[in-house]
Every structure is written in C-alpha cells, then in structure tokens.
C-alpha cells in the first residue's frame, strides 16, 4: 500500500522545480487545511471548496496558478494547488493522481476514526467512573460534547414513569429554565425521538423550528428562554435505548464550531448514547441498591431500637409486677416509676382522690376536683397547659378499667417526653390499673362483709349477740349511736356507680373520725354508723359533711340525698336509728331536695311518713278540690287561701301580699268558706284547712 511519503516523492518528480501545495477537506462545509507544501509559493490565496459536480475532478486556472479539485465520497476533497498554470497533465495522469490522492482521504479518515475511538473510550471511561446517578448524567452530556467536536451545547432528558414526561436531568450551555420543561411522548423533537426510538439530525435553524412545530406554547416559551437560540445552526437528537426500551433522549446543538453536524456525528453520538444508557441503567440500579441498603440500615436501626424498647418494657413490667405481687402501696410504685424515668411524674388517684407522691408540687397544678372533672370526659392521653404565676405544659395519661376512670399519670414537660417515657407510663398504667382494681375489689368485699354484720345489728334482739357483733365491729355497747344514709338516685351504669360510691366514701372518710365510725357502700347507697360518748360530736361531724356533700354533688353532677337519725344510747338502738335515717332519706327524696335531712327537723311530717302517698294526696284533694273549679281559679281562691294561712290569718299582710283591697280579701275568704263548707274561726275546721295546705306543699302530688 502506498504511503503519503511515496505520494509526495512522486509529485515532486513530476512537477520538478514547480512549487505546489496539497490541501485536504473532510467536508464541503469545512475549511480545507494544508497537508503538504513543495517549495515556496508567492501566491498565498486560500483555496475555496467546490460543490461536487458529478465529475471525479475539476481544473481551474488563471495566468498565475492552477487548482485541481478531486472529489470523493462523503464530500471529501483533495485540492492540488500549482504555481505554474502551464503544466500539461494528461487524462491518465489525472486519473492516476485521483487514485493516489484517495489514499490521503483514507488516511485522514483513519486518523479521525482513531481520534473518535480514543475520545469515545476516554468518555466511556469517564462516565463509568461513577455510579452516582446525577454525577453520571452530568458526565454523559459533558463527554458527549467532547466526542462530537462540532457540538457546542447539549442536554439529557430522562423519562419519568410516574408523570409520563421527559424531564431535563443534565445540561451544558442552558440555564435553569430548561429544568421546568416537561415534554410528553411525541411532543416536539425530543418527544418524537423518544416515541419512535430513532435519531434525527437537522442542518439548519429553520428545520429545527419546523421539527418543534407541535410543542406546547408553555414549553416553547421556556425552551426559548433557556439558551441563545439566535446562534443555533444544527441539532442532533438520539434516543437512549436499554434492551429495546427508550429511557431518555440526548440532544446536542451547534453554535460556532466550523462546519456542520454530520451523519458521522449522529452515528458517533448513537454509539456513545448506547454506552451511556447502560451506564445510566447501572447507576439507577446502584441508586436503588443504595436506597434499599439505606432502608435496610434504617430498618435495622429501628429493630434495634424496638428490641431495646421491648427489653426495657420487659424489665419495667417485671419490676412493677414484682412490686404489685409484694403488695407495695400505690405511692411506693409511683416513687419507683419516678426513679425509672429519672424525672418528676405524678399520679392522681381518681378513686381515693389523692395525688402521689404526696409531696409539695413545685409546678403550676390543678386541684384534685379539677382533675376529677376533666377525667369524667377525657379517656385518651392528652396535653394540657396550666398557667399560674408560671406556665407548665403537661402530658396526661388517663387509666381506665371497664370505661371507669381510675386516675391518670401527670408528666410535667420541662423536657421533651421520649418514646421510652411513654412506654414506661404505659407499662406502669397496666400495673396500677390491676393494683387499683384489686384494691377496689377488696374494698367491695369489705363493704359486703360489713353490711352483713350491720344487718345482723338491725335484726338481732338478744343483747348478748348484739354486744358480740358490736365488738367485732369495734363498737362500744353503751355509746350513743346515729345513722346517716346517703343515696345517689340517678346514675348511668353499674360500673360507673361503683367508682362513684368508692370515691364518695374516700372523701367522707377524711371528714369523719376513724375510731368508732362504721362506713360502707352497697349499690347506690352509703351507710355511716356513728358511735360516740358525746352526741354533740355527731352534730359537729355532720356540719362538716354538709358542705362536702353539696360540693361533691355539684362536682359529680349527680343529686345526692342524705337522711340522718336522732342519736340514741345503747347498741340496741341502732335499728331505730337506721329506721329514722331511712325515713328522713325517703322524705328528702320525695320532696326532690338534696343535702342532709335530720329526722328531728321533719317535725309534724313524721306523723305522715308511714302513710301511703295516695292517702295523703287524697286527704288534701278532698279538702281543696272545691277551690279548683274554673270560676274559683279565675278568682285565685286557692292562692288566696295558701297566702292567708301562711300569714297566720292576717288580713292586712295578706291583702298587701296579694295586692288587693281588704274588702276584696273579705269577700274571697267568705267565698272560700262557702266552697269548703268550713269556717276559719272554728278550731276543728281550721285544723283541717291548715293540715290540707301543709300536706299539699310538703308532699308531691301526681298530675291528674
């Protein structure tokens, strides 16, 4: 195979002392460059490429020079520039030179391919040196521009399976507006390349804008603002293919580079894109693997934390359960929880209405009554701000058993509450709920046993047996006794009622003497048996209980009725005390009044407590019914009678009270006597009238 040096020797011999130059042009659009010069030439005009005319060569000459242009495939040209225009060349010599010069093009093509291959290898080495997706994408577009020297700027788009759009992921020579462009499959140039999976090349700005004809107005404005479109000369866009699936599009633009982008550039970019697609795929796999590894790492961390919490949970549960089995007090358990959490935490016992631990609270704090009121509605953990002279944020964790509020943990948030803190509270609440339920059950067993013994006191008549029972209850036989009965008339459900009775007894115990006093609850009643050597002491205790019971009834929003007996000496009088207390309670309930009714204060009404209500109602109606006719009601005769009797038959006071003249009152009194057929000046008649009025106001009567 002839080499270039042999070619140049042949030409030097042929043209002898005549200077000449040889130029080579790879493309008609590219400037020719000098590859060999023989002797100095006075004329330095740069040869101009000619358009192919179908001939193998073309000869141009003037008085000073001769230019022979040899045309080859793919627009390659070899230009022979002779300083002597009179050199004679035969057809055979020109044919021979055509063949000889073809080796120059081949050699240059080989050099160009070697350079492209070297550049491609280096570019591929560069883009595969990283597996971070964003880094890979930036390297791909940067190296693509180095592989295609005629390209000045470029960008790479990837297809988003979620949005079904092409989005720009890397770019060189474009501003941030490019990132806002979302291209649908089939839209504009890159959308068609993605849809069809085929590359395109445009050789002019006009062709490019024609190819963008169906782009949306919004995307067109954005892409126009993303680069200097006035310099645009040509464009290549190739698909990124991975296993016959298009994953994106790579596009390069030419601005200033000599010549134009060519088919060779397109094929070169296609080859580069194929390697780039593999690299992108690997980077995506690497990213997914990293994400999965991060998920596994995070999951492992969470499992470790969970195992740590579970171990801590088991440790806390074991400690608290041990304390419960050892019958440690609630206060002892709360102190242990404080120690476990290494911070202040309080427990409000809603059954016995105590705050544990029993020490001075250094934070703004609600009263026990306020917490009881809140717990009547709050069933789930909640936060609360308490503002006094200072402000404190609290976490409150209610403890329930069968929907009954047993109490709550109160955690001052002077530092954030951790998941371990919440777990400790949760564990402690279970143990405390069990402990309090056990204590509540023990109290109910005690109440039941005490009630049975109390019933024996009511039934037995034998003094010896009464003394034995009294001794078992800690009662002295010769003491003064009195019974106080309390009843909650309205309630929702039995479980709630039991908690209410337990809470009520707990409050009462703090106001009554422990020695010589018996207290127990059953169903909706509380029974208190007072035993004392001085009956005046009972009056003092009752005085303190009166305000407590009124306050308790308002707080619980439940009517509370209480009946108190007269104090009697001797254990045998307990049955009589109970009967009086029961009658006082019944009387209070019948009048629909709350508070404490002392049997002594019932007065004359004691005579009627054993009478059936219909009998009492019938007696009053028999006397007063004549005053309830329509005519009598129009004249307010019944109201006049009640007022006249209450004011002890005073004409002046009654007239003033009713705002009528005395003569009118005389007329009404005479009319009342006629209707009742009774006379006010007759003692027996007036007693009947007085008794009927009293019974009417003292006892409720049914609607007819």
Calculate ∠ Cα 504-506-508, nearest 5°: 70
| CATH number attached to the domain at 327-441 | 3.30.450.40
Calculate ∠ Cα 518-523-526, nearest 5°: 30
Strand, coil or helix: 218? helix
Tell me the C-alpha distance between 451 and 520, whole Å.
Answer: 7
Choose which CATH entry (3.50.50.60, 1.10.10.2840, 3.20.20.120, 3.40.50.720) describes domain 613-698. Answer: 1.10.10.2840
CATH architecture for the domain at 4-117: 2-Layer Sandwich (3.30)
| pLDDT average, residue stretch 457-482 | 84
| pLDDT average, residue stretch 85-89 | 82
Q: What is the pLDDT of residues 530-540, one digit of tens each?
A: 988 888 888 88
| Residue given tokens 């036989």 in the structure block | 477
Lowest mean pLDDT among 183-187, 224-228, 376-380, 527-531: 376-380
Tell me the C-alpha distance between 577 and 573, whole Å.
Answer: 6
Per-domain boundaries in the chain:
4-117, 128-288, 327-441, 460-608, 613-698
| pLDDT average, residue stretch 410-436 | 86
Quick one: which of 375, 381, 343, 378 has its CA closest to 362? Answer: 343
> How many CB atoms lie under 10 A from the CB of residue 666?
12
As a 3-state breakdown, the chain gives helix, strand, coil percent values, each rounded to 5, of 55, 20, 30
Query: Is the whole-model pTM more than 0.85?
Result: no
Q: Long-range contact list for 647-653, CB < 8 A, 24+ apart?
A: 649/680
For the chain, count helices (H), then strands (E). 20, 22
Maximum mean pLDDT: which of 143-152, 210-219, 424-433, 672-681? 210-219
Put residue 659 in one of left, alpha, beta given phi > 0 → left and psi -120 to 50 → alpha. left
| Residue 257 Cα distances to 123, 145, 201, 293, angstroms | 20, 11, 16, 46
pLDDT at 196: 93
CB 219 within 8 A of CB 182: yes
pLDDT at 685: 77
The class that CATH gives domain 460-608 is alpha beta
Element (H, E) at 205: helix 205-211
pLDDT at 111: 61
Tell me the C-alpha distance between 624 and 676, whole Å.
Answer: 7
CA of residue 165 relative to chain centroid, distance: 33
CATH architecture for the domain at 128-288: 2-Layer Sandwich (3.30)
Maximum mean pLDDT: which of 10-14, 418-422, 591-595? 418-422
Strand, coil or helix: 528? strand
Tell me the C-alpha distance between 429 and 425, whole Å.
Answer: 6
Q: 4-117 with 327-441: one CATH topology?
A: yes
Tell me the C-alpha distance between 201 and 210, whole Å.
Answer: 12
| Residue given tokens 């059953």 in the structure block | 522
Strand, coil or helix: 515? coil
Tell me the C-alpha distance between 93 and 641, whole Å.
Answer: 157
Per the omega criterion (within 30 degrees of 0), is the bond before 105 cis? no
Joined tokens for residue 184: 């649908």
**What is the DSSP-derived secondary structure letter of residue 63?**
S
Residue 388 pLDDT > 80: no
């Amino acid at each position: 195979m002839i080499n270039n040096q042999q070619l140049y020797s042949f030409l030097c011999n042929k043209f002898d002392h005549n200077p000449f130059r040889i130029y080579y042009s790879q493309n008609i659009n590219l400037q020719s460059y000098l590859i060999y010069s023989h002797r100095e030439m006075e004329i330095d005009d740069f040869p101009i490429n000619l358009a192919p005319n179908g001939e193998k060569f073309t000869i141009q000459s003037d008085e000073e020079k001769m230019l022979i242009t040899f045309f080859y495939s793919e627009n390659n040209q070899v230009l022979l520039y002779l300083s002597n225009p009179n050199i004679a060349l035969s057809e055979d010599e020109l044919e021979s030179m055509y063949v000889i010069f073809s080796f120059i093009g081949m050699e240059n093509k080989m050099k160009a391919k070697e350079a492209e291959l070297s550049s491609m290898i280096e570019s591929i080495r560069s883009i595969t040196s990283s597996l971070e997706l964003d880094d890979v994408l930036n390297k791909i577009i940067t190296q693509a521009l180095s592989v295609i020297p005629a390209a000045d700027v470029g960008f790479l788009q990837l297809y988003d399976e979620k949005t079904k759009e092409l989005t720009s992921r890397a770019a060189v020579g474009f501003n941030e507006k490019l990132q806002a462009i979302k291209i649908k499959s089939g839209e504009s140039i890159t959308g068609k390349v993605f849809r069809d999976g085929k590359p395109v090349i445009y050789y002019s700005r006009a062709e490019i804008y024609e190819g963008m004809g169906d782009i949306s107005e919004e995307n067109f404005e954005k892409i126009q603002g993303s680069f200097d479109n006035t310099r645009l000369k040509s464009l290549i866009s190739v698909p990124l293919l991975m296993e016959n699936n298009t994953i994106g599009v790579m596009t390069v633009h030419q601005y200033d580079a000599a010549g134009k982008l060519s088919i060779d550039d397109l094929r070169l970019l296609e080859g580069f894109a194929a390697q780039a697609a593999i690299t992108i795929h690997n980077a995506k796999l690497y990213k997914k693997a990293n994400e999965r590894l991060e998920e596994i790492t995070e999951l492992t961390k969470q499992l470790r934390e969970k195992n740590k919490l579970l171990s801590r949970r088991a440790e806390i549960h074991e400690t608290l359960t041990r304390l419960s089995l050892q019958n440690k007090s609630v206060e002892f358990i709360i102190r242990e929880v404080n120690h476990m959490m290494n911070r202040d935490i309080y427990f409000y016992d809603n059954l016995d209405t105590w705050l544990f631990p029993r020490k001075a609270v250094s934070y703004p704090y609600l009263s026990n009554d306020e917490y009881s009121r809140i717990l009547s509605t709050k069933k789930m953990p909640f936060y609360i701000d308490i503002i006094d002279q200072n402000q404190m944020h609290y976490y409150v964790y209610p403890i329930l058993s069968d929907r009954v509020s047993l109490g709550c943990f109160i955690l001052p948030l002077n530092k954030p509450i951790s998941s371990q803190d919440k777990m400790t509270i949760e564990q402690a609440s279970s143990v405390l709920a069990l402990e309090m339920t056990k204590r509540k059950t023990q109290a109910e067993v005690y109440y039941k046993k005490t009630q049975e013994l109390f019933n024996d006191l009511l039934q037995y008549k034998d003094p010896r047996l009464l003394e034995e029972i009294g001794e078992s209850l800690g009662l002295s036989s010769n003491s003064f006794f009195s019974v106080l009965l309390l009843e909650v008339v309205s309630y929702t459900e039995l479980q709630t009622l039991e908690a209410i009775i337990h809470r009520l007894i707990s409050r009462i115990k703090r106001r009554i003497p422990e020695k010589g006093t018996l207290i127990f609850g059953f169903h909706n009643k509380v029974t208190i048996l007072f035993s004392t050597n001085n009956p005046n002491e009972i009056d003092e205790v009752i005085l303190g209980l009166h305000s407590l019971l009124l306050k308790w009834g308002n707080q619980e929003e439940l009517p509370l009725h209480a009946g108190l007996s007269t104090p009697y000496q001797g254990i045998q009088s307990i049955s009589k005390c109970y009967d009086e207390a029961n009658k006082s309670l019944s009387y209070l309930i019948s009048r629909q009044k709350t508070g404490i009714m002392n049997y002594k204060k019932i007065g004359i009404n004691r005579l009627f407590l054993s009478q059936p209500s219909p009998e009492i109602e019938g007696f009053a109606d028999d006397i007063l019914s004549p005053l309830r006719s329509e005519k009598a009601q129009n004249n307010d005769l019944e109201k006049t009678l009640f007022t006249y009797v209450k004011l002890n038959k005073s004409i002046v006071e009654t007239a003033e009270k009713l705002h009528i003249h005395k003569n009118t009152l005389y007329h009404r009194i005479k009319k009342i006597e006629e209707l009742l057929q009774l006379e006010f000046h007759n003692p027996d008649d007036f007693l009947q009238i007085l008794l009927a009025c009293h019974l009417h106001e003292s006892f409720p009567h049914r609607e007819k």
